[in-house]
Amino acid sequence: MIDTPDNLTRNILIGLALGFVVGSFLFYTDFLPIQVDAFVEKYIFNLGGDIFMNLLKLLVVPLVFFSLVSGISSLGSSQSLGKLTFKTVGFYLLTTGIAVSLALMVGSFFQPGSNYSSDLAMVAPTSLPQGQGIYSTIVGIFPSNIIQAMAENQMLAIVFFSILFGLALNKTNHLTGNLSDSFSKLNTVFLQIIVMVMSFAPLGVFCLIGKFVIVDGLDIFQDVFAYVVLLIALLLFHAAFTYSLFLKIIGGLNPLTFFRKMKDVALFAFSTSSSAATIPVTLKTTNQDLGVNQNVASFVVPVGATINMDGTAIMQGLATVFIAQMSGIDLTLFQYIQVILLAVATSIGTAAVPSAGTITLIIILQQFNLPLEAIGIILAVDRVLDMIRTSVNVTGDAAIACIVAKTENQLDENIFNSKA
């Protein structure tokens, strides 16, 4: 078993706190010359954060490819893969549906946008990134050039090709001299690289948090306080209650043990704001700390990083209600149902990168002729909220991995219940 760096959680928390303190100090005070502030922002926060993110991104594609190929080629039969796929996708879509339904109900009850100033709502960004339609999402699953897909981090295409390659290797393993063993060994090598990169996680987290705070400060939360507080409460409730319910009732597992072992992953996801960048850490934790069989984890976690966007779905549901209330528009029950269906559908095509969920929100707003300009206020506070959403998303990935593994008798409960 590959060892994790000592006191990683404590060191990440220290890096997180220092990032907020140093970033806030430089943003709110004029104690240091402006040249010093600019130097710290560019050559410490930006440089350190970008290097750390690049190291994480470096690992994502090869790790997803090798882990999926290794896992699928070792499953034994295509029937096993079919059952695994059905359970994995089914659980992911179910939790996403619950997440957006919860957001709509709470948003309708508390009405965070009812007393909002309409002037600020019309402050729009100069340009909005284009969303990905349903047609292009489906076509994008089947790449014409897998090298290009890997270079552009097209995760759905990479997952599809990896599954296809793994199935082919499964059927020809006796002809290739157990080539699947080589993929398993390469997967282990990349897990070791993860540990090496994670040794620098506290420094990387310090730079990433400082990079955010020194630019935007903490004032952006004042204008949309009700929306921010409600969204954070919903995200925490969904993570703590919904996943606990699934783990206990369906998996018969102790949620407290699960959350205790997931703290490193959640903190890591918070700092990166990327489910894809967190895949290496999530994979390692589900396998080595939670006892999920590596073949199952290698399939469920990368698929989850692609289609499981519970945190994003909560944001989309609440933001839709918030903007509708702010604009004086009452949504009907049928429109609420449409929001649920759209949020679940667009979650499949949402890229596992920072703030991608805001792009798919455009699709929902257009569906109901809600003012796209109002998305400017969502974007204003989205960066730090995206950190929390990502933590919820990766927690869901790991929870579903445990549940699927338990139902397939592929969970080592001794490892899951251990204190390590």
Amino acid type, 206: F
Gap between the Cα atoms of 360 and 349, Å rounded: 8
- Highest-scoring range by mean pLDDT, 54-68, 123-137, 315-329: 315-329
Number of helices and strands (H, E) in the chain? 21, 0
Q: What is the pLDDT of residue 236?
A: 94
Angle at 12 between CA 4 and CA 184, to 5 degrees: 30
Gap between the Cα atoms of 85 and 402, Å rounded: 14
Lowest-pLDDT choice from 214-218, 298-302, 345-349: 345-349
List, for residues 357-376, the tens digit of each pLDDT value.
Answer: 665 676 677 667 777 666 66
3-state secondary structure of 327: coil
Lowest-pLDDT choice from 5-14, 179-188, 288-297: 5-14
User: Mean of the pLDDT values across residues 407-419?
Assistant: 89
DSSP state of 409: T
Residues 6+ apart with CB under 8 A from 301: 67, 279, 282, 283, 286, 397, 398, 401
Of 390 and 374, the one with more pLDDT: 390
Q: Which of 308, 294, 303, 293 is nearest to 391 (CA)?
A: 308
User: Mean of the pLDDT values across residues 300-327?
Assistant: 85
Residues 6+ apart with CB under 8 A from 38: none
- Is the model's pLDDT at 170 over the cut of 90? no
Q: What is the pLDDT of residue 379?
A: 65
The maximal CA–CA distance of the chain, rounded, in angstroms, is 70
* 379 burial level (CB within 10 Å; 0-12, 13-18, 19+): middle
Gap between the Cα atoms of 21 and 290, Å rounded: 34
Q: Which fold is adopted by the domain 8-417?
A: Proton glutamate symport protein (1.10.3860)
Confidence of residue 80 (pLDDT cuts 50, 70, 90): low
Q: What is the pLDDT of residue 219?
A: 61
Q: What is the pLDDT of residue 162?
A: 84
- Is the model's pLDDT at 341 over the cut of 70? yes
Domain ranges of the chain: 8-417
- Residue 292 pairs in a beta bridge with 411
Amino acid type, 378: I
Question: Can you spell out the DSSP letters for 236-291?
Answer: HHIIIIIHHHIIIIIT---HHHHHHHTHHHHHHHHHH--HHHHHHHHHHHHHHTS-
Of 198 and 23, the one with more pLDDT: 23
Gap between the Cα atoms of 118 and 271, Å rounded: 32
- Highest-scoring range by mean pLDDT, 53-67, 218-232, 254-268, 275-289: 254-268
Lowest-pLDDT choice from 67-81, 136-150, 166-180: 67-81
Q: What is the pLDDT of residue 359?
A: 59
Of 21 and 153, the one with more pLDDT: 21
Q: Are 19 and 204 in contact (CB under 8 A)?
A: no
Q: What is the pLDDT of residue 118?
A: 47
- Is the model's pLDDT at 82 over the cut of 70? yes
Confidence of residue 122 (pLDDT cuts 50, 70, 90): very low
Q: What tokens were used for 95?
A: 């939790």
Q: Are 187 and 66 in contact (CB under 8 A)?
A: yes
Confidence of residue 207 (pLDDT cuts 50, 70, 90): confident
- Is the model's pLDDT at 394 over the cut of 90? yes
Q: Are 36 and 214 in contact (CB under 8 A)?
A: no
Of 85 and 97, the one with more pLDDT: 97
- Is the model's pLDDT at 400 over the cut of 90? yes
